[in-house]
Amino acid sequence: MSALTMVQTIARTLDEEMARDDRVVVLGEDVGKRGGVFLATEKLFDKYGPDRVIDSPLSEAAIIGAAVGMAAHGLRPVAEIQFADYVYPGFDQLVSQVAKLRYRSGGQFTAPLVVRMPAGGGVKGGHHHSQSPEAHFVHTAGLKVVFPSTPADARGLLKSAIRDDDPVVFMEPKRLYRAVKEELPDDLDALVPIGKAAVRRVGDDVVLVSYGGSMAETTRAADALVEQGLSPHVIDLRSLAPWDEETVLEAVARVGRVVLVSEAPKSASVMSEVAATIAEELLDQLLAPPLRVSGFDTPYPYAQDREYLPGPARIMRAVQRVLDY
């Protein structure tokens, strides 16, 4: 298979899964002839037609509400929310209906659906096109949440999400949509398991944990640390609910120092949970407190978005703090 960007990979993966299983349908605003605002559903309408690639009204409540009805009656819908910031009109449908359908029906119904949404900043989108709302969904029992950072992981996780019998919130780092290309496996069943982190680099001096768009900055910081003679251990969570406690705790127990990187606001974040778990399980093995490098507890800014994002300089300062502790 040729090298593809992340957004090309998503379009290709949707095509593969729709060809494999005629229960898979795509719905959302402009997903049809337009191919989506980022072209993540490009050419699907021409191939599968309006019954399987459905242009929806401008209503996130309708998109998610229709998707849960489809899922309950045997389809496997993939609903697109144009930007993660737009999901809130459909928030009640997602957290009160989708997430609870299996539990409230005693297993008589399931909700095998995927809700895709581009998330995060770095594209000069301002405060209505740059938010990272993953903590809302991680906090909701019944939802699985994934946030890949590479084309290959986007493909494998999207396949796993579509084939899963539970609802999956599939978050996509839009600033990485066209940042890199990656060779993908020819195997149409090459899945990435939900709940399993990826170790991107093995090291002994400090553990760096991140996911999604922030992996790009974390990787650059790790490269700079190597140039300084340090040995960082880099983990990409990929899945946020469930998250891979075993991989993270094993690395932190061995190294003793950890920096957690995410562009989401700091308070009550996913990384707050990771830090709390590390502290609960490994307090006697830590050589320094876990440090978080994150976005700020403010609305996402327009003119200062690069200052808001946790860049390599901020990550490296945190690393120095845990090394000096």
257 phi-psi bin (left φ>0, alpha ψ -120 to 50, beta other): beta
Give me the catalytic one of 73, 129, 136, 139.
129
Q: Which are the contacts of 194, defined by CB distance < 8 A and separation ≥ 6? A: 144, 146, 157, 160, 161, 164, 168, 239, 242
- DSSP label at 14? H
Q: Are 74 and 34 spatial neighbours (Cβ–Cβ below 8 Å)?
A: no
Q: Which are the contacts of 297, defined by CB distance < 8 A and separation ≥ 6? A: 265, 266, 267
108 burial via Cβ count (<10 Å: 0-12, 13-18, 19+): exposed
Question: What is the torsional sign of CA 260, 262, 268, 273?
Answer: negative
Q: Which long-range contacts (CB under 8 A, 24 or more apart) does 135-139 make?
A: 135/264, 135/268, 135/269, 135/270, 136/91, 136/95, 137/94, 137/95, 137/169, 137/240, 137/241, 138/240, 138/241, 138/270, 138/273
Active site residue 129: yes
Q: Are 134 and 145 spatial neighbours (Cβ–Cβ below 8 Å)?
A: yes
Q: Which residues are marked as active site?
A: 129
